Protein backbone atom coordinates (compact mmCIF):
# COMPACT_ATOMS: atom_id res chain seq x y z
CA UNK A 1 0.00 0.00 0.00
CA UNK A 2 1.72 3.16 -1.21
CA UNK A 3 0.78 6.71 -0.39
CA UNK A 4 0.87 8.90 -3.49
CA UNK A 5 2.98 12.04 -3.13
CA UNK A 6 3.18 14.49 -6.00
CA UNK A 7 6.70 15.89 -6.45
CA UNK A 8 5.17 18.89 -8.25
CA UNK A 9 3.31 19.82 -5.06
CA UNK A 10 6.68 20.47 -3.32
CA UNK A 11 5.66 19.16 0.12
CA UNK A 12 7.86 19.68 3.17
CA UNK A 13 8.94 16.78 5.38
CA UNK A 14 8.05 17.66 8.98
CA UNK A 15 10.44 16.55 11.71
CA UNK A 16 9.87 16.66 15.44
CA UNK A 17 12.31 18.72 17.52
CA UNK A 18 14.46 15.55 17.84
CA UNK A 19 14.83 15.43 14.01
CA UNK A 20 12.66 12.33 13.61
CA UNK A 21 9.58 12.40 11.37
CA UNK A 22 6.33 12.90 13.24
CA UNK A 23 5.05 9.79 11.48
CA UNK A 24 6.25 7.36 8.84
CA UNK A 25 2.90 6.16 7.59
CA UNK A 26 1.50 8.33 6.40
CA UNK A 27 4.74 10.25 6.10
CA UNK A 28 4.56 13.56 7.96
CA UNK A 29 4.34 16.03 5.08
CA UNK A 30 2.96 19.56 4.91
CA UNK A 31 2.00 21.48 1.82
CA UNK A 32 4.48 24.21 0.88
CA UNK A 33 1.85 26.76 1.94
CA UNK A 34 1.56 25.27 5.46
CA UNK A 35 5.35 25.05 5.75
CA UNK A 36 5.77 28.75 4.86
CA UNK A 37 3.02 29.71 7.29
CA UNK A 38 4.80 27.78 10.07
CA UNK A 39 8.07 29.56 9.20
CA UNK A 40 6.43 32.98 9.51
CA UNK A 41 4.74 31.97 12.78
CA UNK A 42 8.23 30.97 14.03
CA UNK A 43 7.12 27.39 14.80
CA UNK A 44 9.74 25.62 12.66
CA UNK A 45 13.32 25.86 11.50
CA UNK A 46 14.09 25.30 7.84
CA UNK A 47 16.55 22.41 7.45
CA UNK A 48 16.60 22.06 3.64
CA UNK A 49 15.11 23.92 0.68
CA UNK A 50 13.92 23.26 -2.84
CA UNK A 51 15.29 25.20 -5.80
CA UNK A 52 11.85 26.78 -6.33
CA UNK A 53 11.00 30.13 -4.79
CA UNK A 54 7.88 32.08 -3.96
CA UNK A 55 7.81 35.84 -4.18
CA UNK A 56 5.79 38.83 -3.21
CA UNK A 57 6.51 42.39 -4.38
CA UNK A 58 8.91 42.92 -1.49
CA UNK A 59 10.07 39.42 -0.52
CA UNK A 60 11.39 36.21 -2.05
CA UNK A 61 11.93 32.87 -0.36
CA UNK A 62 12.99 29.38 -1.42
CA UNK A 63 10.44 26.73 -0.52
CA UNK A 64 11.35 24.53 2.45
CA UNK A 65 11.75 20.81 1.71
CA UNK A 66 12.52 19.80 5.32
CA UNK A 67 11.35 21.64 8.43
CA UNK A 68 11.92 20.86 12.09
CA UNK A 69 9.48 21.82 14.84
CA UNK A 70 10.92 24.14 17.47
CA UNK A 71 8.84 22.53 20.20
CA UNK A 72 8.97 18.77 20.79
CA UNK A 73 5.64 16.99 20.28
CA UNK A 74 5.35 14.05 22.66
CA UNK A 75 4.26 10.99 20.66
CA UNK A 76 1.35 9.08 22.10
CA UNK A 77 2.41 6.06 24.13
CA UNK A 78 -0.33 3.74 22.92
CA UNK A 79 -1.60 3.90 19.35
CA UNK A 80 -5.33 4.29 18.84
CA UNK A 81 -7.23 1.08 18.15
CA UNK A 82 -8.41 1.84 14.61
CA UNK A 83 -9.02 -0.23 11.50
CA UNK A 84 -6.09 1.52 9.79
CA UNK A 85 -3.71 0.76 12.69
CA UNK A 86 -4.80 -2.90 12.71
CA UNK A 87 -4.00 -3.05 8.98
CA UNK A 88 -0.66 -1.31 9.55
CA UNK A 89 0.23 -3.67 12.42
CA UNK A 90 -0.58 -6.62 10.12
CA UNK A 91 1.31 -4.98 7.20
CA UNK A 92 -1.82 -4.62 5.04
CA UNK A 93 -1.92 -8.40 4.63
CA UNK A 94 -4.64 -10.96 5.29
CA UNK A 95 -3.45 -12.93 8.29
CA UNK A 96 -4.97 -16.13 6.88
CA UNK A 97 -3.92 -16.21 3.20
CA UNK A 98 -1.52 -13.27 2.74
CA UNK A 99 -3.72 -11.35 0.27
CA UNK A 100 -3.37 -7.56 0.14
CA UNK A 101 -6.71 -6.67 -1.46
CA UNK A 102 -10.24 -6.28 -0.16
CA UNK A 103 -9.12 -6.12 3.49
CA UNK A 104 -11.48 -6.08 6.41
CA UNK A 105 -10.90 -7.26 9.95
CA UNK A 106 -11.74 -10.52 11.66
CA UNK A 107 -12.36 -11.42 15.28
CA UNK A 108 -10.11 -14.46 15.89
CA UNK A 109 -12.48 -15.55 18.66
CA UNK A 110 -15.82 -14.51 17.12
CA UNK A 111 -18.11 -12.22 19.06
CA UNK A 112 -20.70 -15.01 18.92
CA UNK A 113 -18.29 -17.01 21.12
CA UNK A 114 -17.57 -14.12 23.51
CA UNK A 115 -14.66 -12.61 21.59
CA UNK A 116 -14.03 -8.92 22.14
CA UNK A 117 -13.06 -6.17 19.74
CA UNK A 118 -9.53 -5.63 21.07
CA UNK A 119 -5.99 -5.54 19.73
CA UNK A 120 -5.48 -9.08 21.03
CA UNK A 121 -8.48 -10.52 19.15
CA UNK A 122 -8.70 -8.64 15.84
CA UNK A 123 -6.61 -9.28 12.72
CA UNK A 124 -6.61 -8.02 9.13
CA UNK A 125 -8.40 -10.47 6.84
CA UNK A 126 -9.50 -10.38 3.23
CA UNK A 127 -13.24 -10.62 2.64
CA UNK A 128 -13.14 -14.18 1.22
CA UNK A 129 -11.25 -15.51 4.26
CA UNK A 130 -13.47 -13.57 6.65
CA UNK A 131 -16.58 -15.04 5.01
CA UNK A 132 -15.07 -18.55 4.97
CA UNK A 133 -14.22 -18.39 8.67
CA UNK A 134 -17.55 -16.80 9.59
CA UNK A 135 -18.36 -17.16 13.27
CA UNK A 136 -16.29 -20.31 13.73
CA UNK A 137 -13.43 -20.66 16.15
CA UNK A 138 -10.00 -20.97 14.49
CA UNK A 139 -9.83 -24.69 15.22
CA UNK A 140 -13.32 -25.33 13.80
CA UNK A 141 -12.48 -23.46 10.60
CA UNK A 142 -8.88 -24.77 10.44
CA UNK A 143 -7.85 -21.14 9.97
CA UNK A 144 -5.15 -19.66 12.16
CA UNK A 145 -3.68 -16.17 11.83
CA UNK A 146 -0.07 -16.07 10.63
CA UNK A 147 0.83 -13.98 13.68
CA UNK A 148 -0.89 -13.83 17.03
CA UNK A 149 -2.72 -10.51 17.37
CA UNK A 150 -1.12 -8.11 19.86
CA UNK A 151 -1.29 -4.50 20.96
CA UNK A 152 1.47 -2.75 19.00
CA UNK A 153 3.60 0.07 20.29
CA UNK A 154 3.94 3.31 18.38
CA UNK A 155 7.44 2.09 17.44
CA UNK A 156 5.96 -1.13 15.97
CA UNK A 157 3.67 0.94 13.75
CA UNK A 158 6.54 3.27 12.76
CA UNK A 159 8.67 0.27 11.81
CA UNK A 160 5.85 -1.21 9.72
CA UNK A 161 5.16 2.19 8.17
CA UNK A 162 8.74 2.28 6.88
CA UNK A 163 7.93 -0.80 4.79
CA UNK A 164 5.47 1.28 2.75
CA UNK A 165 7.33 4.40 1.61
CA UNK A 166 5.47 6.91 -0.52
CA UNK A 167 5.88 6.75 -4.29
CA UNK A 168 8.18 9.79 -4.12
CA UNK A 169 10.95 10.70 -1.67
CA UNK A 170 12.88 13.91 -2.24
CA UNK A 171 16.67 13.57 -1.88
CA UNK A 172 16.72 16.13 0.96
CA UNK A 173 14.40 13.88 3.03
CA UNK A 174 16.51 10.72 2.91
CA UNK A 175 18.91 11.62 5.74
CA UNK A 176 15.95 11.99 8.11
CA UNK A 177 13.73 9.08 7.16
CA UNK A 178 15.91 6.09 7.94
CA UNK A 179 18.40 7.65 10.34
CA UNK A 180 18.73 4.47 12.40
CA UNK A 181 19.77 2.21 9.52
CA UNK A 182 23.36 1.14 9.05
CA UNK A 183 25.42 3.55 6.98
CA UNK A 184 27.03 2.40 3.74
CA UNK A 185 30.87 2.64 3.67
* 185 has a pLDDT exceeding 60: no
Let me know: does 73 contact 16? Beta carbons within 8 Å.
yes
CATH number, residue 94 = 1.10.30.50
| Same domain membership, residue 19 and residue 65 | yes
Total number of domains constituting the chain: 2
**10 backbone dihedrals φ, ψ, rounded to 5°:** 50, 55
Burial 157-172 (b: 16+ CB within 10 A, else e): bbebbbebbbebebeb
Look up the domain containing 135 and give its range.
Answer: 81-139
Q: Which tens digits make up the pLDDT trace of 122-179?
A: 999 999 999 999 999 999 999 999 999 999 998 899 889 888 888 888 999 988 886 5
Among 25, 59, 74, give the residue marking a domain's end: 74
Q: List Cβ neighbours of 37 (8 Å cut-off, separation of 6 or more).
A: none
- Helix segments in the chain, DSSP class H: 32-40, 83-89, 127-133, 138-141, 154-161, 174-177
Would 180 be classed as within a structural domain? no
| Same domain membership, residue 102 and residue 52 | no
Average pLDDT over residues 9-24: 92
Would 147 be classed as within a structural domain? no
- What span, in angstroms and rounded, lies between the C-alpha atoms of 55 and 62? 9
Would 146 be classed as within a structural domain? no
| Same domain membership, residue 107 and residue 67 | no
| Same domain membership, residue 41 and residue 14 | yes
Q: Which tens digits make up the pLDDT trace of 104-121?
A: 999 999 999 999 999 999
- What integer pLDDT is reported at residue 75 of this predicted model? 81
Q: Which tens digits make up the pLDDT trace of 41-92?
A: 999 999 999 999 999 899 899 999 999 999 999 988 889 999 999 999 999 9
| Same domain membership, residue 9 and residue 69 | yes
Let me know: does 51 contact 45? Beta carbons within 8 Å.
no
Amino acid sequence: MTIAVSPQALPALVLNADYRPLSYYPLSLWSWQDAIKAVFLDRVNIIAEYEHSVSSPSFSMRLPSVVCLKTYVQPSRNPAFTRFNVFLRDRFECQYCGAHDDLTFDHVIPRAHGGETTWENVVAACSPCNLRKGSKLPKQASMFPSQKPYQPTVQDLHNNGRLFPPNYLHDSWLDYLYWDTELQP
